Chains A and B, each alone.
Chain A
Amino acid sequence: MVAHSNNRPSRRALAALALDRRRMLALGGLAAGAGALGACGSNTGRGSSDGVNLYQWYHQYGEAGTKEAAEKYAAAYEDATVSINWVPGDYDTTLSSGLLAENPGDYPDVFESHLNRSMVDSGQIVPLDDLFDGVLDDFTDIDVKRNSIDGKIYGIQMIDDPQFLYYRPSLLADAGVAEPATFDDLAAAAAELTTSDVKGLFLGNDDSATKLFQPIVFSAGQTLLTDDFQIGFDKDTVIAGALQVKALHESGSLLIGAPTEAWDPSSIIQGLCAIQWCGLWALPQIIDTYGDDIAVMPFPGFAGGAQTVYNGGWSTFVNAKSEHVDEAKAFAKWLWIDNEEYIQDWCLSYGFHIPPRKSMAANADALAEGPAATAVQISQDYGWGDDPNWTPTMETAVDDMMTHIVLEGADPSAEFDTAAQTIQTELDSIFG
């Protein structure tokens, strides 16, 4: 029956068509497979020109115009073709896997990040000491220290971002509250400023407890790690500070669960809080909203300790895997050490950042007066910076300790011991 009907011309044509279709499918499948395999090999990311191609990675800056600025700088460099990879979302993770990649173009030649000892131990980055000839003294001690491991400098500080408290003087004046200098004053002010619609203080949503660990340590004049790589803070200081933070959390005057995190000034701009932890970068945006009615202050001292300011920022590194290490170093030096015009543009035209070179910071007119000048001053007077030997594992250990003590009411002594044990194990595994 089937054979018979297949003999009819129309059916035969259809059968041939079906066969063709099948063959087409097979050929199509082969072609697609070949294409996919070919793509694996050919996607080296190289440009078509004969010159040197460099790939530079940035995290996504929040301020409008920053991406265009980065592209402008890249285009202006004449000794190589520089392509920008502007990474939105979780930059650290994307960068980490990028640094493991094998093909040029899949990994960055020049990238911004924060120095960590493991980057040096695993040979991911090259030392840049020779780029600092004659200009090393023009960088702050904090910036040199945070970019150095075992006496070698690996990173060029691109921007300095002090973080502190913003407040509206009019709100404090209305409530009859003076600028708080101690943590207890701050807690009292936050309680005083809290109304049914506005909370007194915003430190962050997910990190309002954890981010105060380092202020506790530095307020007491201690450090995270000593110079011989031992734990640099003591139990009594940390526990006393953590219990103060716990009391603040239980007072109900903290804004928690805001739609944006503390690096974004939206909470204070929308009037959700009277005082907010944020960075210098947000100052232009906040001034747009409140004009003169904005001031900044260092984070108050804990239990008789000093006031503190966390000096954040970003640094540029050169990938040791790069095929063009020397060219990448030359580009990094051109853009982030020598090029005052672009450094000033990057630091002052979008959000505000302090140019890391002291000579350039002195020329930064936008930072010469008002809250910006105060921010620069307090960052110099009270600032501390990151320690590249303090690993993310150690930070997680103290973050968990703070969360357990402050938010969950766990036994402070036991929590401290657990965290100290984790840090010691990590220290032993690195330096032991």
Chain B
Amino acid sequence: MAVSTEAAAPDAAAGAGGRAPRPRRRTGGWRTALTFWYFVGPFLIGLLVFTYIPVVWSAYLSFFDARNTVTPLPEDFVGLGNYARMLQDAAFTDSLVTFTVFAAFVVPLTFACSLGLALLLNRVRLMRAFFRSVFFLPFSCSYVVASLVWKMSIFNGVRYGMANSVLDLFGIEDVPWLFDPSPPWYWLVIVSLRLWIQCGFYMILFIAALQQIPEHLYEAAYVDGAKPGRQTFWHITLPQLRATSVAVLMLILIAAYQAFDEFYNLIGNQAYARPPLMYLYTTALGTQQDLGRGSAGALILALIIAIVTVLQGRFLGFGNAEEK
């Protein structure tokens, strides 16, 4: 798509001006193409080698009984057997349910928190850069490091864990935050960690969008008698943020589908909080090394993500939102 745009541009320019000598134009085109490939090539090669080829290879493996091997023999062909086994596998279908619960918590919360932070910071006049940096900073922290801090220091299950020390002040007994699913306190740990890391990033996107809203809209609304606050937020700010909101929602949802690090580091491979990637990881890459079933599961998951993303795009009008 980018290639055709690049190639079309010089022709269009020549058509309009019509004065550029032919040989030079050809050299320019060649040079532009070279520059284009020079910059895009390495990225494209990386994408091909590390993404597209593995995806195709994974699709190939998903039709074989491929344990401990990435080059199965023809007699190991099992057709759709791996897909059938994954779809009948309670652990895999449960992991999809776990993900749905996780997304139900994390998507609206991340959206609301990052939008709220952006609105607050957009109004702050004092030390603006400082506050922006402070809220953005956690985004640069690795999930692994944050998970260890959350697990070992804040939500440690013994008496000297930070959260339990606070509860202790009120005479409440120690809570095993992560390893007792009833009540499911582990969601508090997982969701709070993800909020802490992610909100700053989406907040920056929202701040950028907020600054694009023309001031005269608010002035016109004021003249028409709209009260600043809830009224202008619902009728001006939110509709103007539509394109950004849709993109942010999709990004949060896809990021939620990719959740792995914090589950792996906080809880490990537990039946009650095992997202799809965790299960696929243990199936394909852990001790099981069943790359056939792992690949089938990965493709099922990819299909679900694609369908949800398309539906969400249709439903929320991603892509045509900007034109509106």
Considering the complex, which residues of chain B in the window 133-174 have a beta carbon less than 8 Å from any beta carbon of chain A? 152, 155-159, 161, 173-174
Considering the complex, which residues of chain B in the window 173-224 have a beta carbon less than 8 Å from any beta carbon of chain A? 173-182
Q: Establish whether residues B179 and A256, one from each chain, have CB atoms under 8 Å apart when the complex forms.
A: yes
Check if A291 is an interface residue, CB within 8 A of chain B.
no
Considering the complex, which residues of chain A in the window 108-134 have a beta carbon less than 8 Å from any beta carbon of chain B? 116, 118-119, 121-122, 124
* A425 cross-chain contacts in B, Cβ below 8 A: 85, 88
User: Which segment, of B53-61, B120-128, B286-294, faces chain A?
Assistant: B286-294
- Complex formed: what's the CA distance from A409 to B67 in Å? 34
Check if B112 is an interface residue, CB within 8 A of chain A.
no
Chain A residue total in the interface (Cβ 8 A): 43
* A256 cross-chain contacts in B, Cβ below 8 A: 157, 176, 179-180
Q: Establish whether residues B181 and A93, one from each chain, have CB atoms under 8 Å apart when the complex forms.
A: no
Q: Establish whether residues B272 and A121, one from each chain, have CB atoms under 8 Å apart when the complex forms.
A: no
* Per-residue contact bits, chain A 79-114, to B (CB 8 Å; 1 contact, 0 not): 000000000001011001101100000000000000
Contacts A119-B68, A258-B157, A400-B91 given; indicate if A206 touches B268 (C-beta within 8 A).
yes
Q: Establish whether residues B178 and A205, one from each chain, have CB atoms under 8 Å apart when the complex forms.
A: yes
Contacts A408-B182, A408-B272 given; indicate if A118 touches B159 (C-beta within 8 A).
no
Check if B90 is an interface residue, CB within 8 A of chain A.
yes
In the complex, 29 of the A-B residue pairs with CB atoms within 8 angstroms, ordered by the A residue number, are A92-B286, A93-B287, A100-B70, A116-B287, A122-B69, A197-B159, A205-B179, A206-B267, A256-B176, A257-B157, A257-B158, A257-B175, A257-B176, A257-B179, A258-B157, A259-B158, A272-B158, A391-B288, A392-B287, A396-B91, A396-B269, A400-B91, A404-B272, A407-B181, A407-B182, A408-B272, A409-B182, A425-B88, A429-B65
Contacts A96-B68, A99-B68, A121-B67 given; indicate if A257 touches B182 (C-beta within 8 A).
no
Considering the complex, which residues of chain B in the window 248-305 have a beta carbon less than 8 Å from any beta carbon of chain A? 267-272, 282-283, 285-290
Chain B interface (Cβ < 8 Å from any Cβ of A): 38, 65, 67-70, 85, 88-91, 94, 152, 155-159, 161, 173-182, 267-272, 282-283, 285-290
- Complex formed: what's the CA distance from A205 to B186 in Å? 13
Within the complex, which residue of A99, A252, A403, A409 is in contact with B271, where a contact is CB–CB below 8 Å?
A: A403
Q: Establish whether residues A100 and B69, one from each chain, have CB atoms under 8 Å apart when the complex forms.
A: yes
> Which of chain B's residues has its CB closest to A415's CB?
B90
Q: Establish whether residues A206 and B68, one from each chain, have CB atoms under 8 Å apart when the complex forms.
A: no
Check if A219 is an interface residue, CB within 8 A of chain B.
no
* A170 cross-chain contacts in B, Cβ below 8 A: none
- Complex formed: what's the CA distance from A429 to B76 in Å? 11
Check if A422 is an interface residue, CB within 8 A of chain B.
yes
Q: In the complex, what's the smallest C-beta–C-beta distance from A412 to chain B, in angstroms?
A: 14
Check if A316 is an interface residue, CB within 8 A of chain B.
no
- Complex formed: what's the CA distance from A100 to B237 in Å? 55
The 6 A-B pairs of least Cβ separation, nearest first, read A257-B157, A122-B68, A256-B176, A257-B176, A400-B271, A403-B271
* Per-residue contact bits, chain A 384-410, to B (CB 8 Å; 1 contact, 0 not): 000000011100110110011001110
* Per-residue contact bits, chain A 285-315, to B (CB 8 Å; 1 contact, 0 not): 0000000000000000000000000000000
* A409 cross-chain contacts in B, Cβ below 8 A: 182
Q: Establish whether residues A422 and B156, one from each chain, have CB atoms under 8 Å apart when the complex forms.
A: no
